[in-house]
């Protein structure tokens, strides 16, 4: 079967850290304050590295799967590596472990694209905007990885090109009905991380995550061909809030 052509944009790192409460709360409040401010200063430094250079954001997570999610969008894998090393160099890192992470790159499948677009995707301003998005200004984030199933009759990679194109288009229509409520970023991780794709959603009302993902699960592409990984949900932290939250 034929692979679709794809266009790629930002490299993306979802970097999740968990604070060791035992060692953290053993620090005296002044030291905690100092570390909280240093971490916030680091976040402020990396959040807006300049025009065309990407952006970073922090979220406080719900549940036991982690405390902080740092989301980095950059031009190169090397910059992502520098950013994770940068966090490791903050004094907070010594009180954190790192339960998970996800390395991927913004991806658009060109299943239905015209020959013009497929030849030179970067000549299309609308496409470039989708490949190099900013972190949107929305309060809640939801992230989960997905695979396409390869099992007996339900094998995405054995479907004809045209069938895959139609299933994706129908799926896209469900997504578009939520366009005003949910901002969506699809990243590809084949050859980079353990799952094939990552889905990052942003909304101002977290119920929109549930409504959208539930409705999509009835799309044939999800019902028959999707394998879902863990779901991570967080609330945006501007640098001063990060400092407040930590100390």
What does the alpha-carbon distance between residue 95 and residue 85 come to, in Å, rounded to a whole number? 15
Which residue in the list 11, 144, 178, 232 is annotated as catalytic? 144
Nearest to 61 by CA among 104, 31, 22, 99: 99
Residues 215-244 close enough to bind a copy of itself by CB under 8 A: 215, 217-218, 220, 222-224, 226, 230-231, 233, 235
What does the alpha-carbon distance between residue 102 and residue 12 come to, in Å, rounded to a whole number? 8
Nearest to 107 by CA among 2, 200, 180, 230: 200
Instruction: Tell me the closest approach of the beta carbon of residue 53 to a copy of itself, in angstroms.
Output: 18
Residues 19-78 close enough to bind a copy of itself by CB under 8 A: 20-26, 60, 62-65, 77-78
What does the alpha-carbon distance between residue 1 and residue 198 come to, in Å, rounded to a whole number? 23
Q: Active-site residue 232, yes or no?
A: no
Dihedral (CA of 135, 137, 142, 148) sign: negative
Q: Which CB sits closer to a copy of itself, 37 or 227?
A: 227
Is the separation of the CB atoms in 112 and 118 below 8 Å? no
Binding-residue total with a copy of itself (CB under 8 A): 77
Q: Which of 6, 33, 48, 124 binds a copy of itself (CB under 8 A)?
A: 6
With CB under 8 A as the contact rule, which of the stretches 35-43, 45-53, 118-126, 147-155 interacts with a copy of itself?
Answer: 147-155
Nearest to 120 by CA among 7, 33, 225: 7
- Interface with a copy of itself, residue 213, by CB under 8 A: yes
x/- track of binding to a copy of itself for residues 116-135 (CB under 8 A):
--------------------
- Interface with a copy of itself, residue 163, by CB under 8 A: no
- Interface with a copy of itself, residue 112, by CB under 8 A: no
**Burial level of 165, CB count in 10 A (0-12/13-18/19+)?**
middle
With CB under 8 A as the contact rule, which of the stretches 10-18, 49-57, 116-124, 125-133 interacts with a copy of itself?
Answer: 10-18
What does the alpha-carbon distance between residue 89 and residue 84 come to, in Å, rounded to a whole number? 9
Instruction: Tell me the closest approach of the beta carbon of residue 183 to a copy of itself, in angstroms.
Output: 14
């Amino acid at each position: 079967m034929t692979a679709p052509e794809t266009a790629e944009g930002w490299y993306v790192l979802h970097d999740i850290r968990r604070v060791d409460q035992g060692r953290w709360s053993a620090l005296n409040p002044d030291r905690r304050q100092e570390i909280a401010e240093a971490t916030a200063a680091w976040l402020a430094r990396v959040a807006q590295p300049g025009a065309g250079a990407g952006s970073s954001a922090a979220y406080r997570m719900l549940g036991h799967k982690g405390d902080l999610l740092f989301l980095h969008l950059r031009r190169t894998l090397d910059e992502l590596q520098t950013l994770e090393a940068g966090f490791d160099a903050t004094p907070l890192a010594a009180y954190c472990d790192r339960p998970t992470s996800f390395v991927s790159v913004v991806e658009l499948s060109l299943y239905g694209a015209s020959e013009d677009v497929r030849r030179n995707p970067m000549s299309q301003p609308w496409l470039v905007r989708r490949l190099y998005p900013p972190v949107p200004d929305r309060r809640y984030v939801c992230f989960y990885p997905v695979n396409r199933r390869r099992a007996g009759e339900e094998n995405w990679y054995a479907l004809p090109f045209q069938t895959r194109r139609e299933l994706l288009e129908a799926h896209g229509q469900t997504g578009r009905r939520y366009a005003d409520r949910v901002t969506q970023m699809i990243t590809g991780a084949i050859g980079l991380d353990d799952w094939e794709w990552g889905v990052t959603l942003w909304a101002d009302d977290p119920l929109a995550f549930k409504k959208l993902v539930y409705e999509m699960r009835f799309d044939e592409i999800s019902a028959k061909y999707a394998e879902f990984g863990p779901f991570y949900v967080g609330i945006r932290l501007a640098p001063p809030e990060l400092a407040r939250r930590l100390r």
